[in-house]
Amino acid sequence: MILPPGLTEKDFSAALEQFTAVVGKEWVFRTDEDVNLYRDAYSPFWNEEEDRVPAAAVAPDGVEQIQQIVRIANKYQIPLWTVSTGKNLGYGAASPALSGSVILDLKRMNRILEVNDKTYYAVVEPGVSYFDLYRYIQEHKLNVWIDPADPGWGSPLGNALERGGGRTPMRDHFGAVCGLEVVLANGEVLRTGMGALPESAIWHQYKYGFGPYVDGIFSQSNFGIVTRMGLFLMPAPEAYRDGRVSVQKHDDLIPFMEKYAYLLNSDILRGNMMLESPLLSYKVSQGRAVFDMPGDPPVEELERIGKEKNLPYWSALFRFWGAPKIIDAQWEYTKEKFAEIPGATFSDGRSYKFPNDIKIEEIEADTLAALGIPNLGVFGLLQGADGHLGFSPIIPMTGEAIFKALKVYGEMYTELGLSPSNQFAALPWSYYPRALVFLFGISTYKDVEKNKKNREIFKKMIKVSAENGWGEYRTHVAFMDDVAAAYSFNDYVLRRFNETLKDAIDPNGILSPGKSGIWPKRLRKDKE
């Protein structure tokens, strides 16, 4: 059994006994068998010493139990790594950044405290899943939609705090957060925003409160344990339709992205766009990469093939939610705007009126998510590896930036001799209104040598991205220090600022040490 750093077995046993007194013995996990469930099945450190291994897990059911656990952890200086529910695959699962941490597992706190379909928000605990919330809304016949993450077993609270994305107009999950309850490192309960009014009527309807707006510092952080969250929801639309726009030439991507950014920021296109390239997919089918790599056919040749095989260079499915007459007008206008690009083609897609038209079993995962229906379809994407690490750099929302990224990552793939097929979502998505995100999956294996190599690739991707001004929005626990180190402006002043906050509000460093590269004083190593 691994121990928390610096703790004797005796003290740890005493602490676990005290945890047991708080939550009952069925909710403290200390056997290898139980604890291994919290390790990362996709770990890049399979069978290596650096694999992150928890010392135990404790699953409280309520704020008061958490307060007591935090006080015990302070007494013994035990690091608590908080998880909500779901799997967090690709980002480290429930495994901590620091081996020997005790997992604070909040899955039992799974109460849906409110769903309001007059002003469109929900209030949830950490252990509520997208499935739970969806079912609750269905059962109560409420006039709201959720925006599920992929996959649907995830926690709306956990995903929002990790700043995950979805498919609908509400896909900026942290952007939809309104009002938190947080257990601080000293065991006190903080309510943010309007929740600080004792009789608040607007805790989960108005975000900012009075004075500093602090909610953001509890996202991707180790500054507190969030036990309750307000989340804005979307009114159930009357109808849905989608349609595809394709353009033929390589350089058409420049005006394509300009028109997209215009329409998106005018609230005419309102959801996530997954950029596609039927022509580059053809190139992939010929054993090449989506990226630009040496030996690729020149653009003119590709365009010729595209013409011959009727494969457009760029394409995207656009989704519309709302009243039929409005979404029809939006799609008409979208076509008009893109028709300014010579050769642009259009095709109508699905069209649903709710609640009658929709047959869930006939709809693929992407569209289910866009219809607010949580699912597990994303797992169909995983091939030829034992797992993956999510690598998700943000780039500008322009065609020029996409071209540059295809070139930069192509050079990197060439230099590293990577298999061109090692690609997950090699063209970017639009989780955000003015930037794009790539969602690469770097493979992991039950093979030490392969993992070693892929870890180096991951670090190289961080470095090369940073050199081009692109940063990751989120990362795997094993790479949090590396990603944080890329944010190095002015001698790492942001990290030092975060450390100052951390030391002030968690002086014993008990909450999730190492999260997002933030270490408490006693565990801080010298980093260049």
Active-site amino acid positions: 91, 473-474
The correct pick among 440, 455, 516, 520 for binding a copy of itself (CB under 8 A) is 516
Question: Does 256 interact with a copy of itself (rule: CB under 8 A)?
Answer: no
CB of 399 to a copy of itself, least distance (A): 10
Question: Does 258 interact with a copy of itself (rule: CB under 8 A)?
Answer: yes
What whole-number distance in Å separates Cα of residue 334 and Cα of residue 263? 7
Output the 3-class SS for 483-527.
HHHHCCHHHHHHHHHHHHHHHHHCCCCCECCCHHHCCCHHHCCCC
CB of 331 to a copy of itself, least distance (A): 10
Q: Which is nearer to a copy of itself, 325 or 452 (CB)?
A: 325
Give the side-chain half-sphere CA count within 13 A for 430. Answer: 27
Question: Does 63 interact with a copy of itself (rule: CB under 8 A)?
Answer: no
What whole-number distance in Å separates Cα of residue 248 and Cα of residue 277? 10
* Binders in 319-348 for a copy of itself, by CB under 8 A: 321-323, 325-326, 328-330, 332-333
* Binders in 406-445 for a copy of itself, by CB under 8 A: 432-435
Q: What are the strands, taking DSSP E only, across 6-64?
A: 28-29, 56-58
Number of neighbouring beta carbons within 10 Å of residue 98: 23
Question: Does 235 interact with a copy of itself (rule: CB under 8 A)?
Answer: yes
The correct pick among 9, 49, 118, 360 for binding a copy of itself (CB under 8 A) is 118
Token pair listed for 161: 């705090």
Q: Residue 447 phi/psi, 5° resolution? A: -160, 115
Q: Residue 126 phi/psi, 5° resolution? A: -65, -30
Q: State the alpha helices, DSSP H only, in 167-252.
A: none
CB of 237 to a copy of itself, least distance (A): 7
CB of 369 to a copy of itself, least distance (A): 19
Question: Does 497 interact with a copy of itself (rule: CB under 8 A)?
Answer: yes
Site string for a copy of itself, 7-26 (x = CB under 8 A): --------------------
CB of 66 to a copy of itself, least distance (A): 14
Question: Does 210 interact with a copy of itself (rule: CB under 8 A)?
Answer: yes
Question: Does 397 interact with a copy of itself (rule: CB under 8 A)?
Answer: yes
SS3 315: strand
- Calculate ∠ Cα 521-92-129, nearest 5°: 110
CB of 450 to a copy of itself, least distance (A): 27
Q: Which stretch binds a copy of itself (CB under 8 A): 11-19, 272-280, 316-324, 439-447?
A: 316-324
Helices (H) and strands (E) in the chain, counts: 14, 19
The correct pick among 446, 504, 522, 527 for binding a copy of itself (CB under 8 A) is 504
CB of 113 to a copy of itself, least distance (A): 16
Residue 180, C-beta contacts closer than 8 angstroms, at least 6 positions apart: 190, 191, 192, 193, 195, 215, 218, 226, 228, 229, 230
Under rule CB under 8 A, how many of the chain's residues touch a copy of itself? 104
CB of 309 to a copy of itself, least distance (A): 32
Residues forming beta bridges with residue 191, ordered by sequence position:
181
The correct pick among 5, 447, 468, 523 for binding a copy of itself (CB under 8 A) is 468
Q: Which is nearer to a copy of itself, 197 or 381 (CB)?
A: 197
The correct pick among 91, 218, 291, 438 for binding a copy of itself (CB under 8 A) is 218
Q: Which is nearer to a copy of itself, 4 or 509 (CB)?
A: 509
Q: Which stretch binds a copy of itself (CB under 8 A): 36-44, 74-82, 211-219, 451-459?
A: 211-219
SS3 19: helix
- For residue 374, what is the enclosing H or E element? none
Question: Does 282 interact with a copy of itself (rule: CB under 8 A)?
Answer: no
Q: Which is nearer to a copy of itself, 288 or 335 (CB)?
A: 335
* Binders in 148-177 for a copy of itself, by CB under 8 A: 163, 169, 174
CA-nearest of 365, 376, 429, 375 to 164 is 429
- Give me the DSSP letters along 91-124: TTTT--SSTTPEEEE-TT---EEEEETTTTEEEE
59 within 8 A of 27, measured Cβ to Cβ = yes
